[in-house]
Amino acid sequence: MRCRRQRNVTGSRPSSGQQATGNRQQATGNRQQATGNRQQATGNRERLEREKVQTFFYVSS
């Protein structure tokens, strides 16, 4: 029983390592997505500023 348990542990160790690397890749992918979302947020802010200026001109005229 003990031998089998140890064998199972050593056998499952590489797969858990692969899973860890997969999770790390997913984390880097999420980080890239976060930077993309940040760029999109800055783009929306610039557009809002432009619209604000346009509406201000409309009101002033």
Instruction: Give the model's pLDDT for residue 29.
Output: 77
Pinpoint the alpha helices (H) of 1-61: 2-60
Residue 3 in tokens: 């031998």
Label residue 42 left, alpha or beta by phi (over 0 means left) and psi (-120 to 50 means alpha): alpha
**Domain segments of the chain as ranges:** 1-61
Cα separation, 18 vs 60, in Å, equals 63
CA angle 59, 44, 52 (to 5 degrees): 10
Is 13 exposed, middle or buried (CB count within 10 Å of its CB: 0-12, 13-18, 19+)?
A: exposed
pLDDT tens column, 2-61: 555 555 555 555 566 677 777 887 777 778 777 778 877 787 888 877 777 666 666 665
Instruction: Give the model's pLDDT for residue 34.
Output: 79
